[in-house]
Amino acid sequence: MSETEEPGTAEKTAAEAKPSPLPEAMRKTTPQERKRAFFILFVCLLSVGMGQTLVFAVLPPIAADLGMSEFETTMIFSLSAALWVLTSTFWGRRSDVMGRKPVILIGIFGFAISTSLVGVVLLAGYQHWISLALMFPLVMAARAIFGMFGSGSMPASQAYVADRTTRAERAGSIAQIGAAFGLGTVVGPGVAAAFAEIHILAPFFAVGLLAFVSAIAIWILLPERTRPKTLLAEKQEKRASLQWRAPNVLPWLVIGVVLSLSQSIMMQLFAFYLMAELGMKGSEATQLVSVGMMAMAMATLVAQLGLIQRFDLSVQFLLRWGAVTMILSFAMLVFGGSYGVLVSALALAGLGFGFLRSGLSAGASLSVSLKDQGAVAGLIGSTAATGHILNPAIGIPLFYVMHSAPFMLGIVLMIAILAFALFHPVLKNLRSTDANIADEDEEEIGLH
């Protein structure tokens, strides 16, 4: 040590050179900025969730009034779901290149434009400005905008959160993002009913306006200091991009498809099962199913906003106990014989799906480096709609063979997820102790 050098200078320099055990984007924002940013994202995804259930609740009776068949109505839903599957991965990867904020904006503006255009086209049909032959493809095109561009909001938002949280915080923070969408699905039917008192098409314009306001708030208020990659960096990113066949990614994609199919079986076939098993008519069943679906949605929110946040549950816990809960729920549907048992099964399913969906998103995020957060979020997001595509070819034929057969399949699917959570190496490799979490964060920072 030189005579002019103060004691402890070398130690200070070494400490300053050591990378902080925090993601880079997290170090660039204050806790207040992160809290505000996550709140803005929460409201943004809330509007998207409202729009989803709004369309499912309002479009079928409107389509019937305008002369569209059931097949045409389901085609509108299926098209947007298929496009969501195809484009979610693309937008997730683009957020790794362009930055999270631009892709979130593309997704929300796409959703706002799509929802508003659906309302405009249906209004034109009600006013007889266009024929049914023209209205149907125009509604399809308007919903296609949502499938192509709206799919960017969820993976980019999830990656934004992952950039600004430690590994220990990630499961709870990602659960909050999922809960925002879930809360939107809960309040969506109520919002639709309230605005439908003004006009049957008013819900489309109200939610579209909310989405526009959310997008403007994100544009102005959401902090993001990460620079978009240069052209050279983008080319290097493409050459070294995360592959869906990678051993730390493929298992999560399989679980995502299995989980999506299980949810579709539960959501799409419960009403038919209730009517078949209890001999209920359409109008009576509709009211009772609505109560059950509300119980399911509320239980999901309890899991994501309550239990996961309060007890800081690990990915392993979420997958294992989520699967066990769902096995019990499907068994209650198979062996239940009363409305009370069936609704209790739905509420239990809400808890189980809340655990499983959060565990899936957080586990996939923790299995890859920080630079691949957008890519993995997009890949996982692409699996969310696969159940709506697979269920008509798997669940519905089983239902015709035996009413409880799809739920028996659900039990088998959940046993597979439980086996994955107990024995698969990708779960065993996830570090759960605080010391290991800090070490891995430092390793990730060293890669940048």
More confident residue, 337 or 256: 256
Q: What angle do CA 203, 386, 178 make, to 5 degrees?
A: 55
More confident residue, 76 or 282: 76
The model's confidence at residue 203, banded by pLDDT at 50, 70 and 90, is confident
Average pLDDT across the chain, whole number: 81
Instruction: Please give the single-letter amino acid code of residue 33.
Output: E
Instruction: Please give the single-letter amino acid code of residue 376.
Output: V
Mean pLDDT value of segment 172-191 = 77
Q: Which of 15-29, 73-87, 161-175, 407-421 ranks highest by mean pLDDT? A: 407-421
- Burial environment of residue 1 by CB neighbours within 10 A (0 to 12, 13 to 18, 19 or more): exposed
Mean pLDDT value of segment 386-406 = 88
Q: Are 383 and 322 in contact (CB under 8 A)?
A: no
Q: Please tell me the distance from the alpha carbon of residue 80 to that of residue 229, in angstroms, as a whole number.
A: 30
Does position 239 have pLDDT exceeding 70, yes or no?
Answer: no
Does position 428 have pLDDT exceeding 80, yes or no?
Answer: no
Does position 240 have pLDDT exceeding 80, yes or no?
Answer: no
- What 287-295 contacts at long range (C-beta under 8 Å, 24+ apart), as own/partner pairs, is 288/339, 288/343, 290/189, 291/343, 292/342, 292/343, 292/346, 292/347, 293/267, 293/346, 294/186, 295/343, 295/346, 295/347, 295/350
Does position 114 have pLDDT exceeding 90, yes or no?
Answer: yes
More confident residue, 95 or 29: 95
**Cβ neighbour number for residue 14 with a 10 Å cutoff:** 9
Q: Please tell me the distance from the alpha carbon of residue 290 to that of residue 179, in angstroms, as a whole number.
A: 20
Instruction: Please give the single-letter amino acid code of residue 380.
Output: I
Does position 62 have pLDDT exceeding 60, yes or no?
Answer: yes
The model's confidence at residue 252, banded by pLDDT at 50, 70 and 90, is very high
Please write the tens of the pLDDT for every residue from 294-337: 788 889 889 988 898 888 888 999 999 999 999 999 999 999 87
Answer positive or negative: Cα dihedral of 282, 413, 420, 254: negative
**Cβ neighbour number for residue 350 with a 10 Å cutoff:** 27
Alpha carbon distances (Å) from 440 to 114, 249, 255, 404, 437 = 41, 18, 24, 46, 5
Mean pLDDT value of segment 84-88 = 88
Q: Please tell me the distance from the alpha carbon of residue 399 to that of residue 125, in angstroms, as a whole number.
A: 36
Judge if pTM exceeds 0.85.
Answer: no
Does position 14 have pLDDT exceeding 80, yes or no?
Answer: no
Please write the tens of the pLDDT for every residue from 64-82: 788 877 677 777 877 888 8
HSE, CB side, 13 Å, CA atoms: give it for residue 272: 18
Q: Please tell me the distance from the alpha carbon of residue 435 to that of residue 424, in angstroms, as a whole number.
A: 23
Q: Please tell me the distance from the alpha carbon of residue 205 to that of residue 120, in angstroms, as a whole number.
A: 8
Does position 33 have pLDDT exceeding 90, yes or no?
Answer: no
Q: Are 81 and 147 in contact (CB under 8 A)?
A: yes
Which domains are delineated in the chain? 24-238 (1.20.1250.20), 242-438 (1.20.1250.20)
Of 97-111, 112-126, 226-240, 328-342, give the lowest mean pLDDT range. 226-240
Mean pLDDT value of segment 186-195 = 75
- What 209-212 contacts at long range (C-beta under 8 Å, 24+ apart), as own/partner pairs, is 209/112, 209/116, 210/47, 210/50, 211/47, 211/48, 211/51, 211/108, 211/109, 211/111, 211/112, 211/115, 212/109, 212/112, 212/116
Q: Please tell me the distance from the alpha carbon of residue 222 to that of residue 25, in angstroms, as a whole number.
A: 13
